[in-house]
């Protein structure tokens, strides 16, 4: 037996994989013999290489010609005995790999010389071959045999140290043989490192047997490339191969394409592409350095998609130098306590109060220089040192919390980052149990935060670990939720307590606004379905904060409230009771439903939907003005204008001239804010010349026929408007804040701020106050101790349509205490379903 294909295939030794290997192999000749009919066919033939006979005929004719003319005289007897039609199938059945035989023979070439070939016989249904059918493969192995026989071979390495799976040289033997070739060669040589991207994941997707087959196929391709160029091929474990061949980029490119085809035969996934790193041999550079340079080049190649073959350049050392700095200084930095943690507060969106914080690793040198986290954390993850960092940070956080408790100071929960490496290489539940016991901490004070991508691999291990941690009383957060594989089923199975969403979805423009809104809606709906609260991190502006509140997100982490800060600054911050909320992160369900549920024809009739939606219409905003294109019956009744159908086109002509610009601006504002739309009060002339006042709320839908289509809800507030004018007149004579509260048909409350005389005391404008009232956020400012009783008292009075007076102790947005008297008087509205109240907030006299 040779050290060729048979030795490679012994490691695989599975018929279906061996069959597939030969289906994709690069052979020179393939014959198929039907033994019981004594016929043969030439399936594949390489022209102008071997002195082959006719392409078809009887098997006895083929055997006689090959034995007598093509096989070297020294091997003819062995060949004839092997190919005897009476015994060949029995011989194959006794082979070390049943049904497979491999042997080396010399055959006559077209130039009359002799060349070595590896003859492979394959038979049996296990390989997908019919009974009594024999396949004969012929592979060129001339270079390999020449080396083995010593004509181009150094006696010092006559016994190759080969890897059992691939048959390629192990690292030490590869280096030794490469040094010999370089020394004796006058051709410019190069070292090529070959790496398969995500090979571990390949094994998980397709199975380890498929992975082994791919390794064998790649090894065969590399060995063929080495033999055809008098080079060397090595295998260093996992998915790392190496070649020494003449420097020819065209040849290297062809080899790359061939290996790509082997990978893509399993499915065209870019995630498993090969990468080549090439280093040209130079005088004075040792073989080990050449290997290091080619390894570096292949790492650079793996970072790209379009340039997967990279030739080494000295500039590649820059990234290596940074990595080297991290690796050589990190452990000493731990010992010197150069690694510290900063804290970034997590806040309630409505009040800005701190409910907890996230611990973030920072590396600060003794001279004050900061090593950027983006520089050292990826290196630690890549080199398997991230566990050392995490264990250190966890203990530092616990030690600090214990110090705070010993000093009698307030302690809020802190979330610490956990990597998938931590879960796989440490007993995480035991680690956190030991830490909380060592520092006598309540387990609610430590929250465990793991990125969403970590849940994808080794799911059962992750799930079991998290379940144990939750049973022990720890809070588990899923970080970067929505960034990759988030599903409702994943949330349900993993049963996390909190999800964290990155504010990257808020970076919207006109091209992706609708998509971003749908993504946010999907994520928030998933979490609401399971009653899981959301923290949105990376929030930087008030507009982002307001948008998220509208989406139902109650907790925020980001620059809008606080940047990450040293522990000392955080301690000062939470020492102010007005800036913290010790109730923590709580899920508050609003019992929300999706509006699409209302559009199911099997559930609701048109009449019921019209009653639910109230007066509404579709408007077309075009160059000439605004048309009403569709409306419902409730809209027609609310407008209450005779011959209304004659007034559907260019409705702006029926408005006071001064109202038209406001009407247009309201529509434009609704287009800019698709999620919330825009509301405004509009006036229209009736046929008798009197004015009717409407409260209108528009939402932009889409562009159609050169115009823009809007949905608009309408409420006729003419009588209310007249009453409002009287109240505004009253408000000019008071320094108090005047509100108007109306009862809506569904039993809810709608607030309108008519005058805000206490703007400085409340710390907000009339518009901001109105928004807080309508979102129920103002109640968050009422002291937790009297909030339930005050709310219960006011609700009961309102339900009975009774006047009320009460004192509320609350805080303004700055956290400053504020005591207010609230007086309310009920009034009968213009319909039976609405009652109106005048509510005056008056700052009590000292």
Is the CA virtual torsion 193, 213, 162, 1 positive or negative? negative
In this structure, of 28-42, 282-296, 362-376, 492-506, the range with the lowest mean pLDDT score is 492-506
| pLDDT tops 60 at residue 136 | yes
In the predicted model, what is the mean pLDDT of residues 579-589?
76
Higher-confidence residue of 246 and 269: namely 246
The whole model's pTM is what?
0.46
Q: Which helix (H) or strand (E) holds 709?
A: strand 707-716
| pLDDT tops 60 at residue 93 | yes
Residue linked to tokens 């005391």: 761
pLDDT at 512: 59
| pLDDT tops 60 at residue 682 | yes
Closest to 612 (Cα-Cα) out of 599, 623, 625? 599
Q: Residue 114: inside a domain, yes or no?
A: yes
Is 259 found in the same domain as 358? Answer: no
| pLDDT tops 70 at residue 742 | yes
Residue range(s) defining the domain that contains residue 375: 325-569
Is 291 found in the same domain as 332? Answer: no
Name the pLDDT band for 442 (thresholds 50, 70, 90). Answer: very high
| Structure tokens given for 683 | 């006036």
Is 633 found in the same domain as 559? Answer: no
Pair 466, 491: CB distance under 8 Å? no
| pLDDT tops 60 at residue 200 | yes
Q: Residue 241: inside a domain, yes or no?
A: yes
User: What is the spatial distance between Cα 357 and Cα 443, in angstroms, rounded to a whole number?
Assistant: 15
Pairing of strands 354-364, 414-418: parallel
**Average pLDDT along the chain:** 80
| pLDDT tops 90 at residue 591 | no
Q: Residue 674: inside a domain, yes or no?
A: yes
Find the CATH number of the domain harbouring 50: 3.30.450.20
User: What is the spatial distance between Cα 40 and Cα 471, in angstroms, rounded to a whole number?
Assistant: 70
| pLDDT tops 80 at residue 678 | yes
pLDDT at 249: 92
In this structure, of 8-22, 25-39, 301-315, the range with the lowest mean pLDDT score is 8-22
| pLDDT tops 80 at residue 642 | no
- CA-based Rg of the chain, rounded to a whole angstrom? 40
Tell me the CA distances in angstroms from 561 to 64, 298, 579, 797, one per residue in order: 91, 44, 11, 37
DSSP 3: S
HSE-CB at 327 with a 13 A cutoff on CA atoms is: 11
Phi then psi for 640, rounded to 5 degrees?
55, 50
Is 609 found in the same domain as 562? Answer: no
Pair 20, 213: CB distance under 8 Å? yes
Tell me the CA distances in angstroms from 236 to 271, 476, 650, one per residue in order: 22, 40, 78
Is 530 found in the same domain as 395? Answer: yes
Is 251 found in the same domain as 234? Answer: yes
Pairing of strands 232-235, 678-685: unpaired
Is 681 found in the same domain as 640? Answer: yes
Is 824 found in the same domain as 712? Answer: no
- Percentage above 70 pLDDT, the chain: 80
Which of 306-310, 355-359, 825-829 is modeled with the greatest confidence?
Answer: 355-359
| pLDDT tops 50 at residue 305 | yes
pLDDT at 737: 77
Is 122 found in the same domain as 177? Answer: no
Pair 620, 627: CB distance under 8 Å? yes
| pLDDT tops 80 at residue 455 | no
pLDDT at 845: 56
Name the pLDDT band for 66 (thresholds 50, 70, 90). Answer: confident
Strand partners, 519: none
HSE-CB at 183 with a 13 A cutoff on CA atoms is: 9
pLDDT at 2: 39
> What are the tens digits of pLDDT across the range 656-666?
988 899 999 99
Which of 16-20, 71-75, 319-323 is modeled with the greatest confidence?
Answer: 71-75
Count of structural domains within the chain: 5
Name the pLDDT band for 154 (thresholds 50, 70, 90). Answer: very low
pLDDT at 733: 45
Is 803 found in the same domain as 667? Answer: no
CA angle 349, 352, 353 (to 5 degrees): 115
């Amino acid at each position: 037996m040779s050290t060729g294909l048979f030795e490679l295939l012994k490691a695989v030794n599975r018929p279906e994989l061996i069959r597939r290997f030969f289906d994709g192999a690069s052979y020179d000749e393939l014959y198929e013999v039907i033994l019981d009919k004594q016929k043969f066919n030439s399936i594949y033939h390489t022209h102008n290489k071997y002195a082959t006979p006719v392409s078809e005929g009887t098997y006895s004719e083929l055997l006689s010609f090959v034995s007598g003319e093509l096989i070297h005289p020294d091997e003819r007897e062995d060949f004839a005995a092997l190919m005897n039609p009476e015994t060949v199938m029995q011989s194959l059945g006794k082979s070390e790999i049943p049904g497979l035989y491999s042997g080396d023979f010399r055959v006559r070439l077209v130039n009359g010389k002799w060349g070595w070939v590896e003859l492979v016989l394959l038979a049996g249904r296990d390989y997908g071959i019919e009974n009594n059918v024999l396949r004969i493969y012929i592979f060129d192995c001339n270079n390999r045999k020449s080396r083995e026989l010593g004509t181009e071979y150094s006696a010092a390495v006559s016994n190759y140290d080969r890897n059992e799976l691939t048959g390629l040289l192990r690292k030490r033997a590869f280096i030794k043989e490469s040094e010999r070739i370089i020394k004796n060669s006058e051709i410019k040589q190069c070292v090529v490192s070959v790496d398969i991207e995500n090979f571990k994941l390949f094994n998980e997707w397709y199975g380890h047997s498929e992975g082994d087959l791919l390794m064998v196929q790649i090894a065969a391709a590399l060995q063929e490339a080495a033999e055809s160029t008098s080079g060397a091929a090595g295998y260093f474990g996992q998915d790392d191969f190496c070649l020494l061949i003449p420097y020819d980029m065209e040849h290297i490119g062809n080899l790359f394409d061939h290996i790509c085809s082997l990978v893509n035969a399993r499915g065209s996934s870019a995630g498993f592409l090969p990468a080549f790193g090439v280093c040209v041999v130079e005088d004075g550079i040792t073989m080990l350095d050449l290997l290091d340079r080619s390894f570096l080049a292949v790492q650079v190649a793996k970072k790209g998609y379009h340039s997967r073959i990279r030739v080494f350049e000295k500039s590649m050392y820059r990234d290596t130098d940074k990595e080297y700095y991290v690796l050589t200084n990190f452990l000493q930095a731990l010992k010197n306590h150069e690694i510290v943690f900063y804290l970034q507060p997590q806040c309630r969106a409505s009040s800005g109060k701190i409910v907890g914080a996230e611990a973030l690793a920072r590396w600060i040198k003794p001279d004050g220089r900061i090593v950027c986290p983006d520089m050292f954390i990826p290196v630690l993850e890549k080199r398997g040192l991230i566990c050392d960092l995490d264990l250190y940070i966890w203990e530092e956080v616990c030690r600090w919390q214990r110090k705070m408790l010993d000093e009698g100071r307030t302690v809020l929960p802190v979330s610490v980052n956990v990597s998938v490496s931590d879960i796989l290489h440490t007993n995480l539940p035991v680690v956190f149990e030991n830490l909380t016991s060592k520092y006598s901490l309540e387990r609610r004070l430590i929250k465990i935060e793991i990125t969403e991508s970590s849940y994808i691999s080794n799911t059962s291990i992750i799930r079991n670990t998290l379940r144990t941690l939750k049973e022990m009383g720890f809070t588990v957060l899923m970080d970067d939720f929505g960034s990759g594989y988030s599903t409702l089923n994943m949330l349900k199975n993993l049963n996390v307590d909190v999800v964290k969403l990155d504010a990257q979805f808020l970076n919207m423009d006109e091209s992706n606004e609708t998509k971003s809104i749908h993504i946010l809606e999907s994520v928030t709906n998933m979490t609401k379905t399971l009653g899981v609260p959301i923290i949105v991190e990376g929030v930087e502006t008030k507009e982002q904060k307001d948008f998220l509140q509208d989406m139902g997100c109650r907790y925020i982490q980001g620059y809008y409230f606080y940047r990450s800060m040293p522990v000392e600054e955080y301690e000062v911050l939470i020492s102010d009771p007005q800036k913290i909320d010790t109730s923590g992160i709580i899920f508050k369900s609003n019992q929300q439903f999706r509006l699409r549920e209302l559009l199911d024809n099997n559930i609701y009739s048109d009449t019921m939907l019209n009653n639910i939606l109230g007066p509404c219409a579709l408007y077309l905003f075009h160059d000439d003005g605004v048309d009403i294109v569709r409306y419902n019956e409730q809209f027609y009744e609310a407008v209450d204008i005779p011959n209304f159908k004659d007034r559907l086109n260019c409705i702006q002509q029926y408005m006071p001239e001064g109202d038209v610009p406001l009407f247009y601006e309201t529509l434009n504002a609704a287009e800019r804010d698709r999620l919330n739309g825009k509301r405004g009060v509009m006036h229209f002339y009736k046929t008798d010349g009197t004015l009717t006042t409407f409260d209108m709320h528009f939402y932009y839908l889409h562009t159609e026929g050169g115009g823009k289509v809007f949905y608009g809800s309408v409420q006729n507030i003419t009588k209310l408007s007249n009453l409002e004018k009287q109240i505004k007149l009253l408000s000019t004579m008071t320094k108090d804040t005047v509100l108007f509260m109306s009862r809506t048909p569904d039993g809810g409350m709608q607030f309108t701020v008519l005058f805000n005389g206490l703007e400085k005391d409340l710390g907000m404008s009339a518009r901001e106050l109105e928004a807080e009232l309508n979102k129920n956020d103002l109640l968050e400012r009422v002291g937790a101790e009297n909030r339930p009783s005050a709310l219960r008292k006011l609700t009961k009075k309102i339900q009975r349509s009774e006047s009320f007076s009460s004192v509320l102790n609350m805080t303004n947005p700055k956290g400053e205490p504020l005591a207010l008297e609230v007086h309310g008087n009920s009034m009968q509205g213009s319909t039976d379903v609405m009652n109106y109240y005048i509510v005056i907030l008056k700052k009590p006299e000292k």
